[in-house]
Amino acid sequence: MITQTIRRCGSWLVALSMVGWVVPLDAGWPARVDDQPLPTLAPMLERITPAVVNIATTTRLHIPDHPLLNDPVFRYFFDLPNLGNRREKMQRSLGSGVVVDAQRGYILTNHHVIDKSDTIQVALHDGRQLQAQVVGRDPETDVAVVRIAAQRLTALPMGDSNRLRVGDFVVAIGNPFGLGQTVTSGIVSAMGRSGLGIEGYEDFIQTDASINPGNSGGALVDLRGELIGINTAILARGGGNVGIGFAIPISMARQVMEQLVEYGEVRRGLLGIQTQELTPELAEAFRLDPASGGAVVTRVTGRNGSGDSGLRPGDIIIEANGRKIRNSAALRTVSGLARVGDPIRIKYLRDGKPSETVVTVAPPAQQQQIRGNGLDARLDGSVLELVDGGNGSDLLRVSAIKRDSTAWRIGLRPGDIILAVNQQPVTTLEELKNLASADRKKLLLTIQREQQQLVILVR
């Protein structure tokens, strides 16, 4: 049986056109053909490769002497102290990044390249090695920005990924398998790939380039040497490379990067509408061509600009801010990259007739549930939710937890109520995130478990 998996690992691309001659296998390549020099990408690559860097991260993993020592009930029953001196091991990983601002030292890479890392070391093309600091990260799009303090940096100019077409030649530069800077080649195989389950917001460039571990975060460039994508993942059957790779378009990465630099995070809002796919059955009912695609409005909440936009259930959204909307995922991507307060121009069909309106992105309602790693890496494997505590107050409860995950190993269990973080009371997910990020060295959780209060210390 052939299994199919999506792997994040990034690497990338370019090919040359055929020149119409044959060279004997035992002969060397001629310097010229018909008095014309052979085509080469060397001058362009010499100019841009200094902007692509190697990224090495280290993560400190705590190893308890015995699994039972992670259980707070077991420690309490036997009057054992909290785990303070646990064995540790260092986990190292490799990736790539692209210098996009030479003056400020900003490097664009993937979130998963630096996720959970304790140290980030950047190796430049000229041999310099520097420690990097995280500027911001966005797991939903797998984009992150780090910063180094260095002079004489080379930045890669950004191109326009919206102008890419299937068949365009592209070049990928990265650090596969830790070998050092490597250039690979291919073409654009498809645009706007989504529904792969890799990220929350997907609008990938697909390429046939050979992608290998360590290329994640590297540069995908066009033949002008302009950055048009960030290498991210491959589609693998049985773990091998089958020539299907994905890159985040620079149009998306740039929008995310601007918010990460300004706020340290991406501040997303709501359109206030719910949609579903335009299935062939629905298309027939609406007397539309199913191949045209679209997102069918199923509900208008009225909590923001959509309530005054004139949109109604049954409307079919076909375009947003000039981008063709083929499905609900495409609309979600457009709205997810917009800032709160931004207007989004919507084109839609009602009773087969086209119309236009403007919807304003509104602030999100208070989040009720989130995965633990969205708040702090030390809570990975848990799901936290706000529940009504009575008397008008809210409680922060662990609603689910994956066995043997990071959150499980520190002692959290389903049903635990988090009362305080680092001795500060918490009643919202935002408060927990702020308090946890204030002290990265330790995390002191006060929890309520049934009729008992416990304290969990995480270092």
Mean pLDDT of 164-179: 86
- The yes-or-no answer on residue 335 being catalytic is no
For residue 440, the model assigns a pLDDT of 67
Spatial contact of 109 and 95, defined as CB atoms under 8 Å apart:
yes
Residue 178 phi, psi (nearest 5): 70, 15
pLDDT of 233 over the 50 cut: yes
Give yes or no for residue 6 having a pLDDT over 60: no
pLDDT of residue 168: 94
Q: What percent of the chain has pLDDT over 70?
A: 79
**Options 216, 251, 309, 335, the catalytic residue:** 216
In this predicted structure, the answer to whether residue 100 has a pLDDT above a threshold of 70 is yes
Catalytic residue, from 111, 112, 210, 380: name it.
112
Scanning 102-184, the segments in alpha helix (DSSP H) are 111-114
Whether the per-residue pLDDT at 302 is higher than 60: the answer is no
Where along the chain do the CATH 2.30.42.10 domains lie? 273-360, 369-458
Q: pLDDT tens digits, residue range 308-345? A: 678 888 999 999 988 889 888 888 888 888 888 889 99
pLDDT of residue 25 exceeding 50: no
Greater confidence (188 vs 74) lies with: 188
Tens of pLDDT, residue by residue over 344-353, are: 999 999 988 9
Q: Which pLDDT value is given to residue 8?
A: 60
Band of pLDDT at residue 14, cut at 50, 70 and 90: very low
Q: Judge whether residue 83 has pLDDT over 60.
A: no
Is 377's pLDDT higher than 80? yes
Which one is catalytic: 11, 96, 111, 142? Answer: 142
Q: What does the pLDDT average to over 434-449? A: 80
The CATH number corresponding to 369-458 among 2.40.100.10, 3.90.950.10, 3.30.430.20, 2.30.42.10 equals 2.30.42.10
Give me the pLDDT at residue 150, please.
92
Give me the percent of the chain exceeding a pLDDT of 90. Answer: 31
Give the DSSP letter of residue 29: P
| Tokens read off for 173 | 């530069």
State the span(s) of the chain assigned CATH 2.40.10.10. Answer: 7-13+157-263, 49-147
For the question of residue 66 being annotated catalytic, the response is no
Report the pLDDT value the prediction gives residue 344, as an integer from 0 to 100: 92
Give yes or no for residue 26 having a pLDDT over 70: no
Does residue 212 contact residue 241 with C-beta atoms inside 8 Å? yes
Query: pLDDT: is 427 or 275 the higher one?
Result: 275
- Topology of domain 49-147 in CATH is Thrombin, subunit H (2.40.10)
> Mean pLDDT across the stretch 165-190?
87
User: Taking the domain 273-360, which CATH number applies?
Assistant: 2.30.42.10
DSSP string, 288-352: --GGG--EEEEEE--SSGGGGTT--TT-EEEEETTEE--SHHHHHHHHHHSPTT-EEEEEEEETT
Mean pLDDT of 69-74: 64
Decide: 330 and 295 in contact? Cβ < 8 Å.
yes
For residues 409, 111, 114 and 155, what is the CA-based torsion angle, rounded to 10 degrees?
-170
* pLDDT tier at 31, thresholds 50, 70, 90: low
Instruction: Tell me the mean pLDDT in the region 190-216.
Output: 81
CB 206 within 8 A of CB 188: yes
Rounded Cα gap, residues 328 and 273, in angstroms = 11
Mean pLDDT, range 167-196, rounded to an integer? 86
- CATH class of the domain comprising 7-13+157-263: mainly beta
Q: Is 216 a catalytic residue?
A: yes
Q: Give me the sign of the Cα torsion angle 388, 394, 397, 399.
A: positive
